C-alpha cells in the first residue's frame, strides 16, 4: 500500500459515507468484496463512519521519515557486512552480536519515526485484518455496520476498507485485507479500546496496527531496513490470554443465539396473528361463507332484497331433503324388485315340482295301460285238458 491507498479518491464509486444516497445495507449488498473484481481501477471498497478530527502534514512527514529510513537501511546493511561484529554475543566482554546491534538501530529508528509522525501530525493508521474469500462478505458487512451505527461507532475508529477480489480465480487461498482506520496509532488506550471491540463484538483475528506513515514509506515485513512493519503488536496492548477470552466470549454468544432468529420470527408471526384477530373484521368478509345467493352490497338494499334472499335460501333447504327422498324411493323399488324376483323363483320352483309330479303320475298310468305278458294259468290248463 502507498499513501494513495489510504485516501478515498473523489467520485470513487465503491465508497460510502453518511451523505450517500444509497442506504448502507443496499451498498453492502450491491458491492460485495467476493463479487467485485479488481481490474486495476477498483482495488478497495470503502465505508466511512465519521470524518478524521485532525489535520495532517503528510508531505513533510514523509520527506523527513524517508531520509531517516534511507539512513537506517544503510546502517543495517553495514552491520550485516561488518566482519568485526560477531554473530554471537559475549557476555563476559560485553560484545554484542550482529542481531543485537541491528535490533538496537531498528528500535532507535522506530522511536524517531514516531517523533516525526507526532511532530507533523501524521499519526493515523489502521488495524489490519485478513479474511478468507468464503467469510469476507459477512465479516466486512458486520464491521461496516458496526462502524456506522454499532459498537465501533462509539470508538474513535472512523473509516474502513476491504480489498476486492483478484481477476484471476487461480488463488483459492486468497486473503482479503480489511483495514479499520483510527486517527492516532500512538494513543494506546483508545487503540486498545478498538481492539477489544473487534475481538469481543466481532470475534476477528487481528494482525496488528500499522501507521499510515509506514504505509507511505513502503515499510513491510520484507523491507531492507528490517524495521517492524506494525506500530503495535497484539501482545503489546493486551495479553494473549485476554485476547482469547474475548474471542471465546463472542463465539459462545454466537452459538447460544443460533436459534434466536427463528424464535424472533415465530414471536413476530404470533403477534401479527393476535393483532389481526383483535381488529374488527370488515363486513365484506361475510362473503367467506358459502352462500351462492349472497349479495355484493353491504347490509342489503331493502326489505324486498332480504325477502328475496330468504325465499331463495328456503328453496335450497327444501330441495335438499327431496334428494334424499328420491334416494329412498330408489332404495324401496330395489327391495320390491328383489321380493318380486324371489316370489317368481318360488312360483317357478313350485311349478317345476308340480310338473314333475304330473309326469310321474303320467308315467304310472302308461305303465298300467301297457300290454302285460300273460302267464299261463295252470288251473285253467288243468280245466281244459281232456280227462
> How far is the C-alpha of 250 from the C-alpha of 253, rounded, in Å?
5
> How far is the C-alpha of 276 from the C-alpha of 269, rounded, in Å?
11
Paired residues of 90 in beta bridges:
95
In angstroms, how far apart are the furthest CA atoms of the chain? 197
Angle at 369 between CA 368 and CA 371, to 5 degrees: 100
Number of C-alpha atoms within 13 angstroms, CB side, residue 278? Answer: 6
Label residue 285 by pLDDT band (50, 70, 90).
very low
* Entry pTM: 0.65
Q: Cell numbers at residue 30, please?
A: 450491491
Burial class (CB in 10 A: 0-12, 13-18, 19+), 63: exposed
Kindly state the helix (H) or strand (E) to which residue 131 belongs, with its residue range.
strand 125-132
What are the DSSP calls for 194-249, one per residue? HHHHHHHTT---EEEEEEHHHHHHT--TT-TT---S-SB-GGGTS-HHHHHHHHHH
Alpha-helical segments (H) within the chain: 24-30, 58-81, 98-120, 136-149, 188-200, 212-217, 240-256, 260-278, 303-369, 378-384
- In contact, 15 and 45? CB cutoff 8 Å: yes
For the stretch 156-201, pLDDT in tens is: 999 999 999 998 766 778 999 999 999 999 999 999 999 999 999 9
Higher pLDDT: 70 or 336? It is 70
Label residue 350 by pLDDT band (50, 70, 90).
confident
Number of C-alpha atoms within 13 angstroms, CB side, residue 118? Answer: 9
> How far is the C-alpha of 102 from the C-alpha of 85, rounded, in Å?
10
DSSP state of 4: G
> How far is the C-alpha of 160 from the C-alpha of 147, rounded, in Å?
8
Q: Cell numbers at residue 167, please?
A: 481477476
For the stretch 45-57, pLDDT in tens is: 999 998 776 666 8
- Least confident window among 17-31, 72-86, 207-221, 308-322: 308-322
> How far is the C-alpha of 188 from the C-alpha of 190, rounded, in Å?
6
- In contact, 176 and 163? CB cutoff 8 Å: yes
Paired residues of 15 in beta bridges:
46
Q: Cell numbers at residue 5, please?
A: 491507498
Q: How many residues does the chain have?
A: 387
The predicted structure's pLDDT at residue 91? 83
What are the DSSP calls for 323-339, one per residue? HHHHHHHHHHHHHHHHH
Higher pLDDT: 273 or 18? It is 18
Quote the mean pLDDT of the chain: 79
Q: Cell numbers at residue 229, please?
A: 512493519
The predicted structure's pLDDT at residue 273? 40
Query: 284-296 burial, b if ≥16 CB within 10 A, otherwise e?
Result: eeeeeeeeeeeee
Asked if the model's pLDDT at residue 371 lies above 50, the reply is no
Could you tell me which of 44, 261, 33, 18 has the C-alpha nearest to residue 145?
18
- In contact, 151 and 88? CB cutoff 8 Å: no
Amino acid at each position: 500500500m502507498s499513501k494513495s491507498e489510504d485516501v478515498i479518491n473523489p467520485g470513487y464509486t465503491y465508497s460510502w459515507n453518511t451523505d450517500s444516497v444509497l442506504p448502507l445495507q443496499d451498498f453492502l449488498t450491491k458491492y460485495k468484496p467476493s463479487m467485485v473484481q479488481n481490474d486495476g481501477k477498483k482495488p478497495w471498497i470503502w465505508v466511512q463512519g465519521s470524518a478524521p478530527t485532525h489535520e495532517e502534514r503528510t508531505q513533510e512527514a514523509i520527506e523527513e521519515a524517508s531520509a531517516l529510513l534511507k539512513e537506517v537501511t544503510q546502517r543495517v546493511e553495514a552491520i550485516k557486512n561488518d566482519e568485526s561484529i560477531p554473530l554471537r554475543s559475549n557476555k563476559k566482554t560485553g560484545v554484542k552480536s550482529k542481531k543485537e546491534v541491528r535490533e538496537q538501530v531498528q528500535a532507535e529508528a522506530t522511536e524517531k519515526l514516531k517523533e516525526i509522525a507526532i511532530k507533523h501530525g501524521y499519526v493515523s493508521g489502521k488495524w489490519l485484518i485478513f479474511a478468507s474469500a468464503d467469510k469476507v462478505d459477512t465479516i466486512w458487512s458486520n464491521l461496516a455496520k458496526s462502524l456506522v451505527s454499532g459498537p465501533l461507532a462509539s470508538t474513535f475508529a472512523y473509516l474502513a476498507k476491504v480489498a476486492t477480489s483478484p481477476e484471476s480465480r487461480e488463488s483459492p487461498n486468497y486473503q482479503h485485507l480489511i483495514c479499520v482506520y483510527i486517527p492516532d496509532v500512538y494513543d494506546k488506550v483508545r487503540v486498545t479500546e478498538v481492539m477489544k471491540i473487534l475481538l469481543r463484538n466481532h470475534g476477528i483475528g487481528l494482525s496488528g496496527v500499522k501507521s499510515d506513515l509506514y504505509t507511505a514509506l513502503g515499510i513491510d515485513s520484507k523491507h531492507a531496513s528490517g524495521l517492524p512493519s506494525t506500530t503495535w503488536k497484539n501482545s503489546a496492548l493486551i495479553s494473549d490470554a485476554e485476547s482469547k477470552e474475548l474471542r471465546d466470549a463472542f463465539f459462545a454468544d454466537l452459538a447460544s443465539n443460533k436459534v434466536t432468529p427463528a424464535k424472533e420470527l415465530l414471536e413476530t408471526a404470533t403477534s401479527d396473528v393476535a393483532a389481526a384477530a383483535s381488529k374488527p373484521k370488515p363486513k365484506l368478509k361475510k362473503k367467506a361463507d358459502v352462500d351462492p345467493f349472497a349479495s355484493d352490497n353491504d347490509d342489503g338494499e331493502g326489505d324486498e332484497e332480504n325477502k328475496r334472499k330468504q325465499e331463495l335460501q328456503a328453496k335450497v333447504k327444501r330441495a335438499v331433503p327431496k334428494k334424499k327422498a328420491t334416494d329412498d324411493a330408489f332404495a324401496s323399488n330395489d327391495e320390491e324388485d328383489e321380493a318380486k324376483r324371489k316370489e317368481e323363483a318360488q312360483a317357478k320352483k313350485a311349478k317345476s315340482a308340480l310338473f314333475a309330479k304330473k309326469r310321474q303320475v303320467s308315467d304310472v298310468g302308461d305303465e298300467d295301460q301297457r300290454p302285460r305278458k300273460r302267464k299261463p294259468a295252470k288251473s285253467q290248463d288243468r280245466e281244459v285238458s281232456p280227462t
